[in-house]
């Protein structure tokens, strides 16, 4: 046994340095710095290669984490990048936005002791960024073109992952999206301080180098009839995401100054991309802002409001801190940047004056275990209070809103609007229409980016199987 097997005893967990709070709140740059090659190697050496890689199991795409950590230790960067892409078509993005504390790093054997998990996410990000900088590109020299063509509706993480895998199988991939940039919520929903938009543009360059064709600013069903798409392509993958925000049904939600999270975040990203000043509607300078909701989208709203110059930002969540669905890391960043949290508070109503919101009425809650292992918040009578609010941002989550043409072409949905896949003997991610596949948030409901990547990857595998089966059937008849 070599001394390297015990490197975790000598080398502490050390993520890349973050930009100081006083500096980072002044702009929208990514707050996490980058490893130097020696730092990436030394952090990788902390992996004990435990033989039963819980990190790999906890990763939704089941990355070969100990294997590419070993390649980094050995200085084999391009091989690490190639191995990483075998399971994850978007590793540099997942390395930035995945909640590693709840996934791979949370399951790391070292995390269970006093040493701290291997910095898996930071190394993942470094491998891809550095490899692409040095000229690494996917090697498709062995790929034989099949002549098949697939349309992908939606350039979010599911659609991009699907396109990557189809090209590796020699299938033409044409991606349609209504926006002028690829990425979906990667570009327009996740703020730049978590995911710099040049990272998404670099991934577009890589995909286009693989032969992926993007048709941007095109809305299927308006600019092109979906029936035409079905006629022109051998299969269709639908990755339209979840953009319909959950309405909390609060009294006063139509008051001026009340915003839903996604339009707020999208408007700010569009502003930054076009280098404009905030519109009067979203100018938060000097205002008291209340964010309702404790998920990652709520944290994005918190931190964006801080950068827009809010006088104060208060985040209200109806459960306790331990129950928050958002990343612990993102909650910590929000606190560092000056956000105040009010836990176990249930919003009751939005109170206005002269047509604008002036306060949020909240009631204290207590968590009651009703025997199913998930304590429920119950209001405490007589504990109502008002929070000053010039602006309220509702971040209660999102639901799928599949295009009308889905049902119009026999694609079955469940009662909440999610597309049903894999039913009645269908292939994984295949809808009730055998030519149409779907994945990501429009199937799962609002979920993690990495799970959308998994769906896109797996859907591409199912499409490959279906098209191969068709060719075999034709050949048998001939």
Cβ atoms of residues 241 and 441 within 8 Å: yes
Rounded-to-integer distance, Cα 155 and Cα 204, Å: 10
Residue of 188, 182, 161, 186 whose CA lies nearest to 173: 161
Looking up tokens 């047509």 gives 355
pLDDT (tens, 9 = 90+) of the chain, 478 residues, equals: 455 667 787 898 999 999 999 999 999 999 998 899 999 999 999 999 888 899 999 999 999 999 999 999 999 999 999 999 999 999 999 999 999 999 999 999 998 777 899 999 999 999 999 999 999 999 999 999 999 999 999 999 999 999 999 999 999 999 999 999 999 999 999 999 999 999 999 999 999 999 999 999 999 999 999 999 999 999 999 999 998 888 889 999 999 999 999 999 999 999 999 888 888 999 999 999 999 999 999 999 999 999 999 999 999 999 999 998 878 899 999 999 999 999 999 999 999 999 999 999 999 999 998 777 778 999 999 999 999 999 999 999 889 988 999 989 999 999 999 999 999 999 999 999 999 999 999 999 999 999 999 999 999 999 999 999 887 777 777 6
Here the tokens at position 442 are 């429009």
DSSP label of 328: H
Q: Is 249 left (phi over 0), alpha (psi -120 to 50) or beta?
A: left
Q: Which two tokens stand for residue 171?
A: 């299938």
3-state secondary structure of 102: helix
Q: Is the pTM of this model over 0.85?
A: yes
Distance of CA 137 to the CA centre of its chain: 23
**What does the block give as tokens for 362?**
């909240």
**Residue 393 near residue 432 (C-beta atoms within 8 A):** no
Token reading at 316: 């209200």
φ, ψ (nearest 5 deg) of residue 252: 95, 5
Tell me which residue has tokens 């596949």: 437
Whole-number Å distance between alpha carbons of 272 and 118: 34
What is the SS3 string spanning 69-81? HHHHHCCCHHHHH
What the block records as the tokens of 401 is 């809103």
* Distance between CA atoms of residues 311 and 426, nearest Å: 54
Tell me, what DSSP letter sits at residue 419? B
CA distance 435 to 426: 11
**Among all chains, which residue has been given the structure tokens 């597309």?**
419
User: Cβ-count burial of 19 within 10 angstroms (0-12 exposed, 13-18 middle, 19+ buried)?
Assistant: middle
| Size (the chain), residues | 478
Cβ contact 318:377 at 8 Å: yes
């Amino acid at each position: 046994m070599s001394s390297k097997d015990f490197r975790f005893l000598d080398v502490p967990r050390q993520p890349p340095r973050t930009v100081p709070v006083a500096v980072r709140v002044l702009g929208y740059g990514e707050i996490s710095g980058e490893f130097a090659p020696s730092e990436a190697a030394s952090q990788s050496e902390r992996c004990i290669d435990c033989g039963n890689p819980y990190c790999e199991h906890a990763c939704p795409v089941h990355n070969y984490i100990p294997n590419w950590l070993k390649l980094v230790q050995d200085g084999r960067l391009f091989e690490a990048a190639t191995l990483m892409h075998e399971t994850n078509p978007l590793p540099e993005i997942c390395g930035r936005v995945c909640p590693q504390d709840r996934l791979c790093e949370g399951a790391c054997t070292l995390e269970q002791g006093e040493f701290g998990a291997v910095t898996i996410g930071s190394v993942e990000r470094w491998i891809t960024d550095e490899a692409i900088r040095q000229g690494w590109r996917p090697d498709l020299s062995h790929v034989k073109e099949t002549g098949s063509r697939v349309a992908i509706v939606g350039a979010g993480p599911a659609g991009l992952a699907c396109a990557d895998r189809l090209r590796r199988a020699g299938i033409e991939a044409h991606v349609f999206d209504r926006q002028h940039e690829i990425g979906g919520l990667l570009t327009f929903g996740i703020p730049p301080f978590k995911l710099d938009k040049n990272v998404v543009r670099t991934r577009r360059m890589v995909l286009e180098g693989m032969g992926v064709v993007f048709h941007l600013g095109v809305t299927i069903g308006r600019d092109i009839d979906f029936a035409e798409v079905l006629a022109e392509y051998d299969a269709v993958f639908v990755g339209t995401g979840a953009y319909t925000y959950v309405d909390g049904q609060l009294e006063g939600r139509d008051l001026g100054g009340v915003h839903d999270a996604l339009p707020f975040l999208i408007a700010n990203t569009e502003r930054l991309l076009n280098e404009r000043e905030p519109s009067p509607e979203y100018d938060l300078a000097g205002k008291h802002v209340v964010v309702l909701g404790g998920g990652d989208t709520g944290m994005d709203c918190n931190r964006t409001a801080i950068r827009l110059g809010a006088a104060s930002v208060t985040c209200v969540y109806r459960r306790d801190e331990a129950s928050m669905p958002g990343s612990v890391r993102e909650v910590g960043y929000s606190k560092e940047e000056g956000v105040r949290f009010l836990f176990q508070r249930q919003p009751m109503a939005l109170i206005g004056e002269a047509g604008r919101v002036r306060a949020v009425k909240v009631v204290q809650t207590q968590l009651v275990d009703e025997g199913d292992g998930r304590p429920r918040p119950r209001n405490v009578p007589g504990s109502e209070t008002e929070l000053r609010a010039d602006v309220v941002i509702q971040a209660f989550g999102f639901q799928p809103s599949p295009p009308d043409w889905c049902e119009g072409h026999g694609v079955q949905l469940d009662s909440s609007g999610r597309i049903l896949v894999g039913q009645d003997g269908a292939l994984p991610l295949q809808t009730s229409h055998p030519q149409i596949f779907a994945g990501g948030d429009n199937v799962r409901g609002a979920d993690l980016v990495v799970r959308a990547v998994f769906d896109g990857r797996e859907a591409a595998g199912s499409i490959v199987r279906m098209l191969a089966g068709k060719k075999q059937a034709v050949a048998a008849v001939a």
